[in-house]
Structure 1
Amino acid sequence: MIFKNAKVLNENFKFCNVDIEIQNGVIKKIYESEGYTMQQQHEECLNLKGFMLIPGLIDIHTHGCSKRGCMEGSFEAINEISLFMASHGVTSFLPTSRSEIYETLAKAFKNIGACIEKEVEGAEVLGIHMEGPYFSEKLKGAQSEKFLREPSVEEFNRLQKVSGNNIMLISLAPETSGAMEFIRELSNKKIRISMAHTSADYNTAKDAIENGVSHATHLFNAMTGLNHREPGATGAALDSDITVELICDGIHVHPAVIRLVYKIKGSENMIIVSDTVEAAGLVNDSYMRSGEKITVTDGIARTSTGNLAGSTTMLDSSLKKAVSFGIRLEDAIKMMTINPARFLGIDNRKGSISIGKDADLVVLNSSLEVVKTFVKGKIIEKVSNIIGG
């Protein structure tokens, strides 16, 4: 397949006029505009004049969407999530867990591992983001308190084994008993550790970073905030070289704060995530999660106690919001493509439009709406029963 005449965001994250040749699911060649003439041996040429072609979006934090959850423990659930994701420009993602008993986590992780091996129909499943259960009760957010516990290397090893060694990222509270030893041991095994749902003060958070924490999950949300006398975990994340992720839905974090983080961290160390839950795609509805009723009103999901229960905003909408908040389009795309790819250590095959990388590509119109999504060169059609008609 040849993609012609698009405004292409190249590997340096600058828009230019080039043509892209795809073979066997990877980017084979990139031609200068007007420098390539279509030949008969190529079966298909896609004329994208008037459109933008960008790398596929990568979501490292999502619990589900369209009433399906990553914890369901079935291929059908993950497959439907992958299709819904792809319809919103996401070409790969980390299904994300929540705090649960070991047996529930093990069932979900075994299923996600099987989905990686079998391959789903939509966005590629990269691995697992284990969010919890090693969290602070004080800042548990929408996590269920009854499932919280201290970090356990032994429990993690069992879960990693049953997952097929597919846990790539763990979010935990570094102030919990045994957390520092846990962080040191697992970071030495190249598992990425993030601080989240934490009541840690600045010094404890900085110690955690020195011991191996390399990321901050949904910065500002469910962590000690930034104060001029007590910088908290948020201050420690900003006062370091670790990457930080933000939910860019305009609800979890104020646009002015997003701009502030952008100025501090720049375009290289900031990742935009969806943190979507089963409610993504719903406007006014409710559903049960871990025995608790989640109510969605005007697209905002909350627990029965009023806590935000994750986001309902998909990454394509977050892209538009980020630009409206003052982030350069090219930088906003970096925060959803090459930045998460580098963080996960897969930037040799994902995250940018480069020769030899997977042909994970998204076609956008001038309104930044997703027109077409390609995963490894295969077009993912928008299915009406998946995207709600």
Structure 2
Amino acid sequence: MTSPEPTPPRSLTGCILTETGWIDGTLHCGDRITAIEGETVETPAAPYILPGFVDLHVHGGGGHDMMTGAGAIRGAAALHARHGTTAMLPTSVTAPTADLSAFLSAVAACMDRPDPGVARILGAHLEGPVINPHKLGAQPPHTAPPDPDQLRAWAAMAPIRVMTFAPEMDPGHALEDTMHALDIRAQLGHSLCDYATARGALARGCGVTHLFNAMSPLSHRDNGLAGAALAHADHAEIIPDLIHVEPGAILAARRAIPHLHGVTDATAGAGMPDGPYQLGRHAVTKARGAMRLDDGTLAGSALTMDVALRNLVGLGLPLAEAARRLSTLPADWLGEAEIGRLTPGAQADVLHFDRDLALVDVMIGGQSLPPEET
């Protein structure tokens, strides 16, 4: 087997978002960043050079539902790469054991044979199956009881980096303890747990899945998971499509949760026209920017990360903060120090935005995405 050709050196000039702030200068790279030169500035000006986005919750895109196999995962990863996502976790839906095993085998196949021009596959996010059957949201009705042995078997098939579960369905913490032992980030979601249960799980290091959606709500008298998250969570994901969560709630979460990061929760309709699509075994429809079941329930999103960036900036977040909440903070939650940031030695996953925050170029490992076929 021949070794891959080394990535030729490249340089990009603009206002570069580094870990210590903006630098007006030049970024040099091959497959990794080799140097950043220039002067520190307080107020950046276009072109903006940002770290590649890291999406930890994505079910599909470009017409592809990731539960249907490796080809669909690759197709969705290609679509999202063109919108600035340079690394991602393919995310399951709640499904029978055989379907979840097939999904993890597909994730492993994509990791074993990575394709150029698609987002890096970092592992899998299992959303379920240990969730509350009375808080499914758009999840198919295939919930299961905690089974640490099954989780260990799944983890041997592919790296499971994140798992969403309802803590009230795991009262003895056996599944949660297994997640921590396997270095899987445990996230609370699709849950009707009370405040005390959520607070205990958060104290043990759990994060939160798509904050405010499919969970017991914030209330001034009968508080649930959402309220516990605002009071106690250190890490949580939120969907900034302005459909799942209204602007004021996003801003409240930003103030309350130090490491709030954005995800797309995108499904097959992302990057596609209105019409019918699949989400696991569910039929879903894209209309007016949203994905829904036949009864109107939101079913994931049609969001891409470049739109998420513009939405967050439109809410008043500084560009640097908005970008970090879509890149550095999710990478940090996974313990990934070589992605989601622009610093010498990091992977050269780099985005170029113009003055209107339109995405001009995407580099993954120092290679620009090839032009789209027409």
Q: Does 1:117 align with 2:112?
A: yes
Separation of aligned partners in 2, 1:50 and 1:342: 27
- TM-superposed deviation, 1:2: 3.5
Alignment partner for residue 344 of structure 1, among 322, 326, 334?
334
Shift of 1:381: 2.3
Matched, 1:90 2:89: no
Distance in structure 1 (CA, Å) of the matches to 2:136 and 2:160: 21
Is the 8 Å Cα contact of residues 56 and 90 (structure 1) preserved in structure 2?
yes
Q: Which amino acid aligns with 1:377?
A: G
Aligned to 1:358, the other structure's residue is in SS state coil
Match 1:263 to one of 231, 238, 255: 255
| 2:5 equivalent in structure 1 | none
Inter-partner Cα distance in structure 2 for 1:340 and 1:302: 26
Count of residue pairs brought into register by the alignment: 361
Q: Secondary structure at the match of 1:175?
A: helix
Q: Deviations over 1:105-137 (max 9, x none)?
A: 111111111111111221111110111111111
Shift of 1:143: 0.5
Q: TM-score, normalised by structure 1?
A: 0.89
Q: 2:285 aligns with which of 291, 295, 304?
A: 295
Secondary structure of residue in 1 paired with 2:167: coil
Task: Name the structure 1 match of 2:208.
Answer: 216
Unaligned runs of 5+ in 2: 1-8, 40-44
1:218 is paired with a residue whose SS is: coil
Indicate whether 1:278 and 2:274 are aligned: no
CA distance, structure 2, for counterparts of residue 185 and residue 5 of structure 1: 46
Shift of 1:206: 1.2
2:85 aligned with 1:59: no
* Counterpart Cα distance in 1 of 2:203 and 2:192: 18
Answer whether contact 2:53 2:87 (CA < 8 A) is retained: yes
Residue 318 (1) aligns with residue 308 (2): yes
Distance in structure 2 (CA, Å) of the matches to 1:179 and 1:378: 48
Query: Are the counterparts in 2 of residues 171 and 194 from structure 1 also a CA contact under 8 Å?
Result: yes
SS in 2 for 1:310: strand
Could you tell me how far apart the structure 2 residues matched to 1:362 and 1:3 are?
Answer: 13
Determine if the alignment matches structure 1 residue 133 to structure 2 residue 122. no
2:319 & 2:80 partners in 1: Cα distance? Answer: 20
Residue 194 of structure 2 corresponds to 201
Q: Distance in 2 between matches of 1:195 and 1:264?
A: 17
Match of 1:140, as an amino acid?
A: L
Residues 371, 179 of structure 1: alpha-carbon distance in 2 compared, 3 angstrom cutoff: farther
1:141 counterpart SS class: coil
Aligned partner of 1:180 in structure 2 is 173
How far apart, CA to CA, are the structure 1 residues paired with 2:236 and 2:178?
A: 22
Aligned mates of 1:297, 1:126 — CA distance in 2: 31
The letter of the residue matching 1:376 is G
Q: For the residues of structure 2 that align with 1:100 and 1:376, how far apart are their CA atoms?
A: 34
Corresponding residue number in structure 2 for 1:44: none
User: Residue 225 of structure 2 corresponds to which residue in structure 1?
Assistant: 233
User: Cα gap change, 1:201/1:50 in structure 2, threshold over 3 Å: closer, same or farther?
Assistant: closer
Report if the CA contact (8 A) 1:173-1:196 is conserved. Answer: yes
Q: Distance in 2 between matches of 1:16 and 1:295?
A: 44
State the partner residue of 1:36.
none
Q: Which runs of 5+ in 1 are unaligned?
A: 34-48
CA distance in 1, matches of 2:234, 2:137: 23
Measured after TM superposition, the shift of residue 382 of structure 1 is 4.1
Check whether the contact 1:129–1:168 (CA below 8 A) recurs between aligned residues: yes
Q: Which residue of 1 aligns with 2:4?
A: none
Percent of paired sites with the same residue = 28
CA distance in 1, matches of 2:12, 2:286: 42
- Could you tell me how far apart the structure 1 residues matched to 2:76 and 2:148 are? 30
Distance between the aligned counterparts of 1:98 and 1:290, measured in 2? 6
Encode CA deviations 1:286-315: one digit per residue, 9 max, x unaligned. 124444321111121111222100010101
